[in-house]
Structure 1
Amino acid sequence: MKNVNTIQKNRDGFQSKWGFILACVGSAVGMGNIWRLPIMVSKYGGLTFLIPFFIFIVLIGASGVIGEFALGRSAGAGPVGAFGKCTELRTGSKKLGETIGAIPIIGSLALAIGYTCVMGWVFKYTIMAISGSMFSMGQDMNVIVGTFNSTASSWGANTWILIAVIASFAIMSMGISGGIEKANKIMMPLLFIMFMALGIYIATLPGASNGYKYIFSLNPAGLLNPEVWIFAFGQAFFSMSVAGNGSVIYGSYLGKSESIPGAARNVAFFNSLSAMLAAFVIIPAMAVGNAELTAGGPGLMFIYLVNVMNGMVGGRIVGVIFFLCVTFAGISSIINLYEAPVAFLQERFGIKRIFATGTVLVLGAVVALFIQAIVSGWMDIVSIYLCPLGALLAAVMFFWVAGKEYVLKAVNEGAKKPIGSWFYLLAKYVYCLCAIVALIAGAFYGGIG
């Protein structure tokens, strides 16, 4: 096994601030912004949901996101090494922290495996959109539903899952700067440009105005509903990708001269922008088709939106652009999720990146093929329990175990203006409480994000 210090010195990393920001935005701009936020906006009513959502985006961005970035960068390692560093500062031993750090790694791998199944569906529908076979289904709901049910069944998307894994391997095997950073510099701008183009086109269609009216509607009485705030919090918490794994590992690749608070602000802004672009595309599109957002998750994207797009003027082109956007969002998320276990193998065993990536992705592909029929339940368990638990453990390790002096030094390194003392109190008490709420509320409601 290679010397850990040698491995750390030779670590790859992001070569530019915007490369890091776009990669982090890519990790956050996943399916949640596309197939869940529009549902929440529809269910709870426009600004009635969006106002608390943006409040929580600011709160989590100003505490948890900064904390996970700083934790990873200060330790120069993923969750296992970073947690070990924290317990070493407190007790002189890394062992307990490294053991606990395995939990976010497991959570990241489990979520990546579930996402691999979903990305198999996405790749299939993207090719169907490009070839015209999706548009040829028309608005026959029996055909549309049957196509999705056969895709999302046991062994229903084998080839497409393997394609998703191969695409992820092609990017990840080239490293952080040469693969992940370059890929996100291409995918993220294209995603935003295409989403904006879709939004502009849909705005010209009859009936779209009803969607915008709904987005900007406000029911003051609705703001008194605790459930609105719980689900707005859940949407913000999970869309910001705080789980003690992806943000920690990406933070470990960030240069010491970069400002972490500034990076966190940019990630929060572009994540919010992507969420709003999704809402401005999907809700007006459903209004154009006189459809209601009656289902979230895969049903919205692969059934209801397909039905709407197939009946829309220019629907075939809209379908192609939409599913290309989803492909970029999904790939950028899945490579972030797989990165934590890949980095763990590199750091712990000194394995070359290409072999570490191949090992993790082969494991991911095999498990994904077997869980296709139960992927929904798989994702529920991971997102309800493992993700918020990982976020809580990272927060406790950094803010409670490592201590105030270490935290502020890590956060302020590279910043032109040191962050105020408010940050430590906000993160140590309020954010940690938020992570506990995410775990308890998620278990109570069967998922809040």
Structure 2
Amino acid sequence: MARAARAETEREQWSGQYGFLLAAIGSAVGLGNIWRFPGVAYESGGGAFLIPYLVALLTAGIPILLLDYSLGHRYRGSAPAVFRRLGKRFEALGWFQVAISFVIATYYTVIIVWAIRYLGFSVTLAWGEDPLNFFIGDFLQDAGATVTTDVVGGIFWPMLLVWVAVLVILGLGVRKGLEVANKIFIPLLAVLFLTMVVRAVFLDGAADGLNAFFTPDWSALADPNVWIAAYGQVFFSLSIAFGIMLTYSSYLKRRSNLGATGFVAAFANSSFELLAGIGVFATLGFMAAQQGIGVGELEGITGVILSFVTFPQIISMMPGGPIFGVLFFTSLTLAGFTSLLSILQVPSAAIQEKFDLSRRAATLGVGGAAALISLALYSTTSSLAVLDTVDYYTNNIGVVASAILTAVLATFGARKLPELQRHLNAVSSTRIGTWWRVLVGIFVPVALTIMLVWSLYQVVTEPYSEYPWSFVNTAGWGAVALMAVSALVLSAVRWRRPVDDFTPSPDFTEVTR
């Protein structure tokens, strides 16, 4: 008990609810909101996609977000510490989440670097008449689906600077580093992105784009892939089930309004995605009008291509394009940077606790290792194909598997859902009912298992993105294997800091009904 009290006293904390909320929103609002959501919506029936997206948010996104909050806040630790306190045999799941975050951090940085470089390119429209060839050839010097060691200097040096900035902020700690950064970046991001969206809706043809976004293709609702895409988008954008929100909530003060904060963070994230959809579709409407085609006939409306090929092409067409480009790529940079901070905090906090290191030593060790891997893999001419493959396997297999295991463990392994529900209600102004336990314990595992089986079927029957099997197996399954092996090895290492002598507060003695 004394050790637990000492650990509680020493543990860093947010200055208050507002600081935590901004950090949670900063983590959730990232690259997935700006480029992934509009692209997925475009391919999934336009306005019809908003229905399964809302269903996924309410039935899986918010319940798992609250599960992360309750676990982190009640058991007051990093992901491995929290799961070990549920049962020693469950610690490996915490390290699996740490490994997921570590892998994501290594490639997330390069996309931020691309955004920074394109911010500069926007001023002079450096991509010229052929944005695709400029991005793939001149900028990335892409070597395709092969692993090379040829470094692209225009990516390596900016990436090194980004990593230095990230390590400095994390080294300053939760309150002086993460909280201050989010208090500056999130309001700035909101202002810049809102300005960009307002500009977009006044472009010629914007109305056609908005009609495409809000007019549903109802037949799309019969396609299982649309529903799977909706659940995938919610998990991708909310930063749930791989340690971020669990770690962040562990820094909250004991008296914190978890329920209300969770709902606010979730709907703030979704509101930003809706805003991104409006801005992107309005811009696509302008592009379609300039080409004399329908919005549905446009190509390249997904992920990387949308941001670094389609948007530069639009910027070149529109009045005041350079200003629009600066707004867009600055927003992309800020959104990515705040998410990267939260992603890297997960392994940093875990290593700090496991090996009883100082915050700065843990940050330098974890961040330094991630930076070296990031620079070695993603500043080379093979970065695009490696990033694409690792990202797909990490999110569609790693994160989904982690969410299933977390829900099943909390429900059936440790049998803690009633206790966690009581904890949420004890510290929340919003009452969390039995519906939450039903969704977390039954619906989420079933729905996500279907998603996981479908993803496994796809990657087993045909190579992802038509890459060679040897490349896919090395980059994709290699990343998943690295996560699993790391989880087993790190969970077998002895803790240098006391972790088992811990009593949650408040100490409930009866089961919630």
Q: 2:96 aligns with which of 86, 95, 103?
A: 103
User: Does residue 266 of structure 2 align to residue 268 of structure 1?
Assistant: yes
Q: Counterpart of 1:277 in 2: which secondary structure?
A: helix
What residue is the counterpart of 1:13 in the other structure?
13
What residue is the counterpart of 1:377 in the other structure?
389
Superposition deviation, residue 428 in structure 1 = 1.0
User: Does residue 436 of structure 2 align to residue 423 of structure 1?
Assistant: yes
What residue is the counterpart of 2:481 in the other structure?
none
Alignment of 1:230-241 (within 5 A): 230-241=228-239
Q: Deviations over 1:231-271 (max 9, x none)?
A: 11211222121123111111111222112221111111111
User: Does residue 148 of structure 2 align to residue 150 of structure 1?
Assistant: no
Q: 2:309 aligns with which of 299, 303, 314?
A: 303
State the superposition RMSD in angstroms. 2.1
Superposition deviation, residue 107 in structure 1 = 0.9
User: Does residue 192 of structure 2 align to residue 191 of structure 1?
Assistant: no
Alignment of 1:218-367 (within 5 A): 218-290=216-288, 292-367=298-373
Which shifted more, 207-216 or 31-40? 31-40
Superposition deviation, residue 308 in structure 1 = 0.9
Superposition deviation, residue 122 in structure 1 = 2.1
Superposition deviation, residue 76 in structure 1 = 0.3
Q: 1:408 aligns with which of 421, 431, 445?
A: 421
CA contact (8 A) 1:71 1:410 kept: no
CA contact (8 A) 1:138 1:311 kept: no
Give the Cα separation in 1 of the matches to 2:156 and 2:324: 27
CA separation of 1:145 and 1:302: change in aligned 2, threshold 3 A: same
Give the Cα separation in 2 of the matches to 1:236 and 1:100: 21
CA contact (8 A) 2:83 2:90 kept: yes
Give the Cα separation in 1 of the matches to 2:418 and 2:214: 44
What residue is the counterpart of 1:123 in the other structure?
116
Give the Cα separation in 2 of the matches to 1:28 and 1:137: 31
Give the Cα separation in 2 of the matches to 1:359 and 1:5: 27
Q: Counterpart of 2:141 in 1: which secondary structure?
A: helix
CA contact (8 A) 2:112 2:332 kept: no
CA contact (8 A) 1:72 1:78 kept: yes
Q: Which amino acid aligns with 1:308?
A: I
Q: 1:201 aligns with which of 192, 199, 202?
A: 199
What residue is the counterpart of 1:91 in the other structure?
none
Give the Cα separation in 2 of the matches to 1:126 and 1:163: 16
CA contact (8 A) 1:20 1:254 kept: yes
TM-score, with normalisation over the residues of structure 1?
Answer: 0.91
CA contact (8 A) 2:61 2:235 kept: no
What residue is the counterpart of 1:443 in the other structure?
456
Which shifted more, 430-439 or 308-317? 430-439
CA contact (8 A) 2:121 2:127 kept: no
Larger radius of gyration: 2
CA separation of 1:287 and 1:223: change in aligned 2, threshold 3 A: same
CA contact (8 A) 2:260 2:430 kept: no
CA separation of 1:148 and 1:444: change in aligned 2, threshold 3 A: farther
Q: Deviations over 1:44-64 (max 9, x none)?
A: 222111111112112224310
* Count of aligned pairs: 435
CA contact (8 A) 1:115 1:334 kept: yes
Give the Cα separation in 1 of the matches to 2:71 and 2:448: 16
Q: Deviations over 1:93-120 (max 9, x none)?
A: x2x1223321111111011112122222
Q: Deviations over 1:360-391 (max 9, x none)?
A: 11111110122222222222221122211222
CA separation of 1:4 and 1:106: change in aligned 2, threshold 3 A: farther
Give the Cα separation in 2 of the matches to 1:434 and 1:22: 30
The percent of aligned pairs where both chains have the same amino acid is 27
Q: Deviations over 1:374-419 (max 9, x none)?
A: 2222222211222112222222232331424322222223113532
Give the Cα separation in 1 of the matches to 2:17 and 2:345: 19
CA contact (8 A) 1:24 1:250 kept: yes
User: Does residue 403 of structure 2 align to residue 391 of structure 1?
Assistant: yes
What are structure 1's unaligned runs of at least 5 residues?
88-93
CA contact (8 A) 2:105 2:344 kept: yes
Superposition deviation, residue 295 in structure 1 = 4.1
User: Does residue 128 of structure 2 align to residue 138 of structure 1?
Assistant: yes
